[in-house]
């Protein structure tokens, strides 16, 4: 039985820009739009060097304002040519030091955005608690904490009022109080879920003696 072997075939392909519709000659790099659905090279949407240069020139960032709400990060952008984008979803990628948008953006612009994002992120985290430790003692509860900027508060006694307000023995900034209050609520919930073993009878007697001693002072 005779077998026919199908050899590869040489074909031609015209380079036509999918943006401007003009024929072009590729340079060292060939740009194309990847929609992840092309089954043939003939379906590829090529982009000419002139349109790429125009695209890169357009993405010169004048200002960028980041905002995070409900764990969703967005950015308001203004380009040098006056173009404005509001509430664009974005994702910072620390490994590549870029910010990816829901829009085709040159790598250089992604890198510039990351620099702006990193500065914004450092500033907003300056007052955020990095560590917080609570300590329960007899008739005294205290906290020791540190912010991302290195601001420290050590062994600060506090109490929570009936109105849910935090009172401290030493002055503490309001932005710290708010976070301490939230952290303490979680701390109490965890203790309620995993209560410590009941004290021995001797310990209870000692507690009663201490309370009576305090009352007699």
In a domain, 216, yes or no: no
In a domain, 44, yes or no: yes
Least-confidence region, from 4-18, 160-174, 178-192, 203-217: 203-217
Return the sign of the alpha-carbon dihedral for residues 43, 44, 48, 54: positive
In a domain, 170, yes or no: yes
- Asked if residues 106 and 56 have their Cβ atoms less than 8 Å apart, the reply is yes
> Are residues 53 and 110 part of one domain?
no
> Are residues 71 and 84 part of one domain?
yes
In a domain, 66, yes or no: yes
Return the HEC string of 88-126. Answer: EEEEEECCCCEEEECCCCCHHHHHHHHHHHHHHHHHHHC
In a domain, 199, yes or no: no
Q: Total domain count for the chain?
A: 3
**Residue 178 CB contacts under 8 Å (≥ 6 apart), including other chains:** none
pLDDT confidence of residue 195: 61
Domain's final residue, options 103, 125, 147: 125
In a domain, 155, yes or no: yes
pLDDT confidence of residue 209: 56
Mean pLDDT across 5-17:
80
Q: Which residue has the tokens 């590869």?
A: 8
pLDDT tens digits along 61-73: 999 999 999 889 9
Return the HEC string of the chain. Answer: CCCCCCCCCCCCCCCECCCCCCECCCCCCCEEECCCCCCCHHHCEEECHHHHHHHHHHCCEEEEEEEEECCEEEEEEEECCCCEEEEEEEEEECCCCEEEECCCCCHHHHHHHHHHHHHHHHHHHCCCEEEEEEEEECCEEEEEEEECCCCEEEEEEEEECCCCCEEECCCCCHHHHHHHHHHHHHHHHHHHHCCCCCCCHHHHHHHHHHHHHHHHC
Q: How confident is the model at residue 6 (pLDDT cuts 50, 70, 90)?
A: low
> Are residues 89 and 42 part of one domain?
no
pLDDT tens digits along 125-162: 899 999 999 999 999 999 999 998 889 999 999 999 99
∠ CA 38-44-46, nearest 5°, is: 155
pLDDT tens digits along 20-78: 999 999 888 899 988 766 677 778 899 999 999 999 999 999 999 999 998 899 999 99
In a domain, 137, yes or no: yes
In a domain, 1, yes or no: no
> Are residues 51 and 68 part of one domain?
no
What domain range is 147 assigned to? 129-193
């Amino acid at each position: 039985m005779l077998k026919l072997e199908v050899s590869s075939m040489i074909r031609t392909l015209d380079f036509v820009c999918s943006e401007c519709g003009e024929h072009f000659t590729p340079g060292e790099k060939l740009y194309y739009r990847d929609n992840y659905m092309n089954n043939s090279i003939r379906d590829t949407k090529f982009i000419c060097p002139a349109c790429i240069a125009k695209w890169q020139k357009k993405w010169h960032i004048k200002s960028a304002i980041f905002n995070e709400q409900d764990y969703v990060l967005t950015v308001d952008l203004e380009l040098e040519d006056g173009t404005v984008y509001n509430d664009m979803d974005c994702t910072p990628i620390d490994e590549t030091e870029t910010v990816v948008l829901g829009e085709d953006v040159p790598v250089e612009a992604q890198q510039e955005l990351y620099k702006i994002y990193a500065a914004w992120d450092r500033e907003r985290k300056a007052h955020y608690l990095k560590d917080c430790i609570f300590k329960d003692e007899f008739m005294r509860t205290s906290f020791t904490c540190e912010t991302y900027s290195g601001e420290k508060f050590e062994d600060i006694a506090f109490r929570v009022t009936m109105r849910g307000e935090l009172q401290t023995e030493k002055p503490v900034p309001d932005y710290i109080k708010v976070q301490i209050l939230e952290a303490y609520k979680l701390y109490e919930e965890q203790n309620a879920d995993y209560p410590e073993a009941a004290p021995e009878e001797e310990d209870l007697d000692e507690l009663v003696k201490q309370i009576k001693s305090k009352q007699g002072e």
